[in-house]
Amino acid sequence: MAYLFRAMFGIVFLGILLPKKIVRPSDFFSFLYGFFVLLPYVLLNSIRGDIPFEEFVVFFMALVLPLLIVKLMVMGMPVIRTPGVLTQGGVIFILCVFVAVGIALALANPTPSAGFDFSNVYERRLEGRDIFISGSLFSYVSAAIINGFSPFIAFWACWKKKYWLMVIPILCWLTFFYLLGVKAPLLSIGVAALLGVAANKAKIIAFINYVYWLVIGSFCIFIVEYSLSGYSYVADYFIRRSFTVPPWVMSSFFEFMSSDNTSWSLLSGATEDKPISLLIGENFLGMEGLNANTNAFVYSLGAGGLPFYFLTILMVGFVFFILDSAFLVKNNPSFICLGFSYAILVVEQAATTALLSSGIGMLMVLLIFSKRNVDSTYATR
């Protein structure tokens, strides 16, 4: 009964907060953060053991507060006008050149076990840490191609019906799956392409329904796979990663921060000279090499305490303020695609990493100084 009460409390609260349609870029943050962070935590808050209701409320409000503040920041925003220097085709050309150079450099430094085998994907990922060294220019370029440029090119290709351009994001994913065993970017590329189709038909407003059908379809495939073979690829690589791993990692962070230890402080965060994701993964959970990434706000609370937590909320709110304002001025659904990409990344990693190393920051600058979209089929007013 205690669990049912917590679940009903959280679901009713989310029903009030979550948007019912996509009108501007910040709506994607509200929806994706609510659907893939808040809802899984509400339903699986006891995944690491039962917690008192009082603790659940504190942890849940720590997750909800960023959504409330970002919503307030983007309400009644002023319009910021910028000159249109680049054409949209020019932006895509710049990205394609960048991608081509990045792929060439990546293939020139392959991991020892590079290949397309599913059985050693984690081995390739671990080997990649020695080649794609965290903080290096090579690592930033690769992350930008995987997480930012590929989904955006897929979106633009389907929005403008230049489907031959889909070869580029697919080639990007194949390259980095071959080198690092990464699988998640394929889903981002597919959803971005679907978003592009919706933009072409001026149906982005109803895109939330597509996501719901995608999730329902995934569960149906899972049931069929599991009933036939006792194992499901969809459950293992999508459902588990999207809906069960996040609340398990968040619960680990909350358990670490609320436990009686000297490794964390409410005002200064982690006191050890080690990334919080590794501190949780290796020291707290005891799993060697585990990089326990979580959403930007729990990560910032764990890494830097309350000051970093609120600073991260303000930064994310400012990014969506800029995207919403530029979207209204430029009448360009590309900004909604950026809102989608940034929201997806904020759901699973640090906000600064999501903005800078993913290429979203560069995409924002290019699009802010692009020319206004004159396609009347996508008028914002």
At 375 the pLDDT is 65
Confidence label for 77 from pLDDT (cuts 50, 70 and 90): low
Q: Phi, psi at residue 185, to the nearest 5°?
A: -55, -30
Same domain, 64 and 86: no
At 377 the pLDDT is 56
Instruction: Read off the DSSP letter of residue 26.
Output: H
* 293 neighbors 348 (Cβ within 8 angstroms): yes
Residue 22 tokens, joined:
């996509």
Give the global pTM: 0.89
Range with the lowest mean pLDDT among 184-193, 239-248, 333-342?
184-193
Same domain, 2 and 27: yes
Of residues 117 and 135, which shows the higher confidence score? Answer: 117
pLDDT reading at 135 higher than 70: no
Residue 24 tokens, joined:
């501007």
Same domain, 267 and 184: no
Same domain, 332 and 319: yes
Would you say residue 220 lies in a domain?
Answer: no
Q: How far apart are CA 258 and CA 266, in angstroms?
A: 10
User: What does the pLDDT average to over 97-109?
Assistant: 87
Q: How far apart are CA 359 and CA 149, in angstroms?
A: 7
Q: How far apart are CA 73 and CA 222, in angstroms?
A: 39
145, 148, 149, 150 alpha-carbon torsion, rounded to 10°: 80
Residues with Cβ within 8 Å of residue 138, at least 6 apart in sequence: 105, 109, 131, 132
Same domain, 106 and 180: yes
Q: Phi, psi at residue 19, to the nearest 5°?
A: -70, 150
Residue 199 tokens, joined:
């933009």
At 380 the pLDDT is 45
Range with the lowest mean pLDDT among 225-234, 267-276, 336-345?
267-276
Q: How far apart are CA 124 and CA 304, in angstroms?
A: 31
Residues with Cβ within 8 Å of residue 41, at least 6 apart in sequence: 10, 59, 60, 63, 246, 247, 250, 251
Tell me the per-residue pLDDT of 328-377, one tens digit each, with 9 for 90 and over: 888 888 999 999 999 998 998 888 888 887 889 999 999 988 887 766 55
Range with the lowest mean pLDDT among 302-306, 309-313, 326-330?
326-330
> Which residue range(s) make up the domain with 270?
1-76+245-371
At 381 the pLDDT is 39
Range with the lowest mean pLDDT among 134-138, 161-165, 206-210, 284-288?
134-138
User: What does the pLDDT average to over 304-321?
Assistant: 94
Instruction: Please count the structural domains in the chain.
Output: 2
3-state class (DSSP) for residue 270: strand
3-state class (DSSP) for residue 92: helix
Same domain, 316 and 335: yes
Would you say residue 300 lies in a domain?
Answer: yes
Would you say residue 239 lies in a domain?
Answer: no
